Protein backbone atom coordinates (compact mmCIF):
# COMPACT_ATOMS: atom_id res chain seq x y z
CA UNK A 1 0.00 0.00 0.00
CA UNK A 2 1.42 3.37 -0.97
CA UNK A 3 2.17 5.89 1.77
CA UNK A 4 1.27 9.55 1.55
CA UNK A 5 4.35 11.56 2.46
CA UNK A 6 3.56 14.45 4.79
CA UNK A 7 5.85 17.34 3.90
CA UNK A 8 5.76 20.54 5.97
CA UNK A 9 3.88 23.16 3.99
CA UNK A 10 3.64 26.93 4.39
CA UNK A 11 0.02 27.29 3.19
CA UNK A 12 0.30 30.96 2.27
CA UNK A 13 3.31 30.28 0.06
CA UNK A 14 1.19 27.93 -2.06
CA UNK A 15 -0.23 29.29 -5.30
CA UNK A 16 -3.53 31.14 -4.90
CA UNK A 17 -6.08 29.58 -7.27
CA UNK A 18 -8.99 31.78 -6.31
CA UNK A 19 -11.49 32.98 -3.70
CA UNK A 20 -15.18 32.15 -3.53
CA UNK A 21 -16.46 35.72 -3.82
CA UNK A 22 -19.47 34.48 -5.80
CA UNK A 23 -20.91 32.36 -3.00
CA UNK A 24 -23.29 33.98 -0.48
CA UNK A 25 -22.37 34.54 3.14
CA UNK A 26 -24.57 32.77 5.67
CA UNK A 27 -27.42 35.06 6.71
CA UNK A 28 -27.09 36.37 10.31
CA UNK A 29 -30.31 34.69 11.46
CA UNK A 30 -28.84 31.31 10.51
CA UNK A 31 -25.94 31.88 12.89
CA UNK A 32 -28.16 32.03 15.97
CA UNK A 33 -28.25 29.08 18.41
CA UNK A 34 -31.97 28.38 17.94
CA UNK A 35 -31.65 28.25 14.14
CA UNK A 36 -28.63 25.96 14.39
CA UNK A 37 -30.54 23.64 16.72
CA UNK A 38 -33.36 23.34 14.19
CA UNK A 39 -31.01 22.78 11.26
CA UNK A 40 -29.11 19.97 12.96
CA UNK A 41 -32.33 18.41 14.26
CA UNK A 42 -33.90 18.40 10.79
CA UNK A 43 -31.24 19.07 8.17
CA UNK A 44 -32.13 20.09 4.64
CA UNK A 45 -30.65 17.85 1.95
CA UNK A 46 -27.12 19.03 1.19
CA UNK A 47 -23.94 17.77 -0.45
CA UNK A 48 -20.64 17.98 1.41
CA UNK A 49 -17.55 19.02 -0.49
CA UNK A 50 -14.96 16.32 -1.09
CA UNK A 51 -11.37 17.46 -0.82
CA UNK A 52 -8.31 15.78 -2.26
CA UNK A 53 -7.08 14.14 0.95
CA UNK A 54 -10.46 12.50 1.50
CA UNK A 55 -10.75 11.37 -2.10
CA UNK A 56 -7.22 9.95 -2.09
CA UNK A 57 -7.63 8.01 1.15
CA UNK A 58 -11.31 7.05 1.26
CA UNK A 59 -10.65 3.43 0.17
CA UNK A 60 -7.80 2.81 2.65
CA UNK A 61 -7.77 1.62 6.24
CA UNK A 62 -7.92 4.65 8.52
CA UNK A 63 -7.98 5.23 12.27
CA UNK A 64 -11.16 6.62 13.80
CA UNK A 65 -11.04 10.08 15.38
CA UNK A 66 -13.31 12.96 16.29
CA UNK A 67 -12.92 16.69 16.80
CA UNK A 68 -15.09 19.21 18.59
CA UNK A 69 -16.21 22.34 16.74
CA UNK A 70 -17.03 24.46 19.81
CA UNK A 71 -19.36 27.44 19.32
CA UNK A 72 -19.13 30.08 22.07
CA UNK A 73 -22.07 32.49 22.59
CA UNK A 74 -20.88 36.09 22.83
CA UNK A 75 -22.73 39.41 22.78
CA UNK A 76 -21.36 40.06 19.28
CA UNK A 77 -22.42 36.62 18.01
CA UNK A 78 -21.22 33.03 18.07
CA UNK A 79 -17.47 32.45 18.05
CA UNK A 80 -15.60 29.33 16.94
CA UNK A 81 -13.03 28.16 19.46
CA UNK A 82 -9.78 26.93 17.91
CA UNK A 83 -6.37 25.85 19.15
CA UNK A 84 -2.81 26.21 17.94
CA UNK A 85 -0.87 22.97 18.27
CA UNK A 86 2.44 22.86 20.10
CA UNK A 87 5.46 23.32 17.83
CA UNK A 88 7.09 20.16 19.22
CA UNK A 89 4.33 17.74 18.26
CA UNK A 90 5.14 14.98 15.76
CA UNK A 91 2.05 15.63 13.58
CA UNK A 92 0.76 19.02 12.42
CA UNK A 93 3.08 20.98 14.70
CA UNK A 94 2.09 24.62 15.05
CA UNK A 95 -1.06 24.25 12.99
CA UNK A 96 -4.50 25.52 13.92
CA UNK A 97 -7.00 22.82 14.73
CA UNK A 98 -10.07 21.82 16.69
CA UNK A 99 -9.62 19.95 19.96
CA UNK A 100 -9.93 16.24 19.33
CA UNK A 101 -8.12 12.97 18.79
CA UNK A 102 -8.36 9.21 18.36
CA UNK A 103 -11.44 7.24 19.31
CA UNK A 104 -10.93 4.99 22.31
CA UNK A 105 -12.63 1.62 22.67
CA UNK A 106 -14.82 2.88 25.49
CA UNK A 107 -16.16 5.85 23.49
CA UNK A 108 -19.76 5.03 22.62
CA UNK A 109 -20.13 7.85 20.08
CA UNK A 110 -17.84 10.33 18.27
CA UNK A 111 -19.25 13.03 20.55
CA UNK A 112 -17.83 11.13 23.53
CA UNK A 113 -14.41 11.13 21.86
CA UNK A 114 -14.58 14.83 21.01
CA UNK A 115 -15.68 15.86 24.51
CA UNK A 116 -13.11 13.64 26.22
CA UNK A 117 -10.29 14.96 24.04
CA UNK A 118 -11.41 18.59 24.50
CA UNK A 119 -11.32 18.09 28.26
CA UNK A 120 -7.84 16.58 28.06
CA UNK A 121 -6.43 19.18 25.65
CA UNK A 122 -7.95 22.46 26.83
CA UNK A 123 -9.75 21.67 30.08
CA UNK A 124 -13.24 22.09 28.61
CA UNK A 125 -15.72 20.41 30.96
CA UNK A 126 -18.49 18.41 29.26
CA UNK A 127 -21.11 19.69 31.73
CA UNK A 128 -23.28 22.31 30.03
CA UNK A 129 -22.02 21.48 26.54
CA UNK A 130 -24.86 21.04 24.05
CA UNK A 131 -24.02 18.74 21.16
CA UNK A 132 -25.91 19.92 18.06
CA UNK A 133 -24.84 17.17 15.67
CA UNK A 134 -22.08 15.90 13.43
CA UNK A 135 -20.70 16.63 9.99
CA UNK A 136 -19.62 13.99 7.43
CA UNK A 137 -16.41 12.06 7.96
CA UNK A 138 -13.27 13.79 6.79
CA UNK A 139 -10.23 11.66 5.85
CA UNK A 140 -6.98 13.42 6.68
CA UNK A 141 -3.54 13.12 5.10
CA UNK A 142 -2.31 11.70 8.43
CA UNK A 143 -4.70 8.74 7.88
CA UNK A 144 -7.55 9.49 10.25
CA UNK A 145 -11.26 9.27 9.49
CA UNK A 146 -12.45 12.24 11.52
CA UNK A 147 -16.01 12.96 12.66
CA UNK A 148 -16.54 16.69 13.33
CA UNK A 149 -18.90 17.21 16.29
CA UNK A 150 -20.57 20.65 16.46
CA UNK A 151 -21.52 21.86 19.94
CA UNK A 152 -22.53 24.97 21.86
CA UNK A 153 -20.35 25.44 24.91
CA UNK A 154 -21.44 27.56 27.88
CA UNK A 155 -18.25 29.59 28.20
CA UNK A 156 -14.62 29.60 27.17
CA UNK A 157 -13.20 31.26 30.26
CA UNK A 158 -10.97 29.41 32.74
CA UNK A 159 -9.81 26.89 30.17
CA UNK A 160 -6.58 25.11 31.00
CA UNK A 161 -4.75 24.15 27.80
CA UNK A 162 -2.39 21.20 28.06
CA UNK A 163 0.96 22.88 27.23
CA UNK A 164 2.46 19.70 25.77
CA UNK A 165 -0.26 19.73 23.09
CA UNK A 166 -1.70 23.24 22.83
CA UNK A 167 0.19 26.51 22.72
CA UNK A 168 -2.82 28.83 22.33
CA UNK A 169 -6.63 28.88 22.44
CA UNK A 170 -8.44 31.63 20.55
CA UNK A 171 -11.80 32.51 19.00
CA UNK A 172 -12.87 33.50 15.48
CA UNK A 173 -16.33 34.93 14.68
CA UNK A 174 -18.54 32.25 13.11
CA UNK A 175 -19.86 34.92 10.71
CA UNK A 176 -16.31 35.51 9.40
CA UNK A 177 -15.72 31.80 8.76
CA UNK A 178 -19.15 31.35 7.15
CA UNK A 179 -18.41 34.01 4.53
CA UNK A 180 -16.79 32.35 1.48
CA UNK A 181 -15.01 35.54 0.44
CA UNK A 182 -12.58 34.57 3.23
CA UNK A 183 -12.03 31.10 1.74
CA UNK A 184 -8.93 30.83 -0.45
CA UNK A 185 -8.22 27.81 -2.66
CA UNK A 186 -4.48 27.24 -2.86
CA UNK A 187 -2.26 24.65 -4.53
CA UNK A 188 1.10 23.40 -3.31
CA UNK A 189 3.37 21.46 -5.65
CA UNK A 190 6.55 19.45 -4.91
CA UNK A 191 9.55 21.66 -5.54
CA UNK A 192 7.87 24.82 -4.25
CA UNK A 193 9.32 24.26 -0.80
CA UNK A 194 12.81 25.06 0.43
CA UNK A 195 13.91 21.40 0.41
CA UNK A 196 12.12 19.74 -2.53
CA UNK A 197 10.74 16.29 -1.81
CA UNK A 198 10.49 14.19 -5.00
CA UNK A 199 8.00 11.70 -3.49
CA UNK A 200 5.59 14.29 -2.07
CA UNK A 201 2.30 14.85 -3.86
CA UNK A 202 0.62 17.97 -5.20
CA UNK A 203 -2.05 19.20 -2.81
CA UNK A 204 -4.97 21.58 -3.07
CA UNK A 205 -6.53 22.94 0.09
CA UNK A 206 -8.56 25.79 1.57
CA UNK A 207 -6.94 28.60 3.55
CA UNK A 208 -8.88 30.99 5.81
CA UNK A 209 -6.54 33.73 7.10
CA UNK A 210 -7.80 35.69 10.10
CA UNK A 211 -6.19 38.69 11.84
CA UNK A 212 -7.07 39.86 15.35
CA UNK A 213 -5.16 42.15 17.73
CA UNK A 214 -2.15 42.15 15.41
CA UNK A 215 -1.97 38.35 15.38
CA UNK A 216 -2.38 36.44 12.11
CA UNK A 217 -4.03 33.02 12.24
CA UNK A 218 -3.86 30.79 9.16
CA UNK A 219 -6.65 28.20 9.24
CA UNK A 220 -6.15 25.63 6.51
CA UNK A 221 -6.22 21.97 5.51
CA UNK A 222 -8.60 19.64 7.34
CA UNK A 223 -9.74 22.34 9.78
CA UNK A 224 -10.72 24.67 6.94
CA UNK A 225 -12.35 21.81 5.03
CA UNK A 226 -14.56 20.92 7.99
CA UNK A 227 -15.57 24.56 8.37
CA UNK A 228 -16.39 24.62 4.67
CA UNK A 229 -18.72 21.65 5.11
CA UNK A 230 -20.37 23.43 8.02
CA UNK A 231 -20.93 26.30 5.59
CA UNK A 232 -22.51 23.91 3.07
CA UNK A 233 -24.87 22.57 5.72
CA UNK A 234 -25.95 26.05 6.80
CA UNK A 235 -26.36 27.51 3.33
CA UNK A 236 -28.48 24.61 2.00
**Does 92 reside within a domain?**
yes
**Does 89 reside within a domain?**
yes
1 against 3, higher pLDDT: 3
156 pLDDT tier (thresholds 50, 70, 90): confident
Does pLDDT of 5 surpass 50?
Answer: no
Domain count, the chain: 1
Sequential DSSP letters for 42-100 = SPPP------HHHHHHTTS--EEEEEEEEEE--TT--EEEEEEE-TT-SSSTT-EE-SE
**Does 91 reside within a domain?**
yes
**Does 127 reside within a domain?**
yes
| Whole-number Å distance between alpha carbons of 78 and 176 | 10
**Does 25 reside within a domain?**
yes
Q: The domain that contains 94 carries what CATH number? A: 3.90.79.10
Phi then psi for residue 185, to 5 deg, are -95, 120
51 pLDDT tier (thresholds 50, 70, 90): confident
**Does 6 reside within a domain?**
no
Entry pTM: 0.89
**Does 126 reside within a domain?**
yes
Q: What integer is the mean pLDDT of 210-233?
A: 95
Lowest-confidence range among 5-14, 66-75, 188-197?
A: 188-197
**Does 5 reside within a domain?**
no
8 A C-beta contact, residue 174 and residue 35: no
101: containing domain: 11-189+199-233
Amino acid sequence: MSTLRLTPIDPESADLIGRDDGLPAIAPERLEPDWLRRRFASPTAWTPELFEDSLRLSSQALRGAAVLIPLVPRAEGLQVLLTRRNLHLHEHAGQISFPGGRCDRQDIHPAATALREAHEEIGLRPAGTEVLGTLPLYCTASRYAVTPVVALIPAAENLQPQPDEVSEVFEVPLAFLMNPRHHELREWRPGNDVAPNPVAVRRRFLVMPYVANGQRYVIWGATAAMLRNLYRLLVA
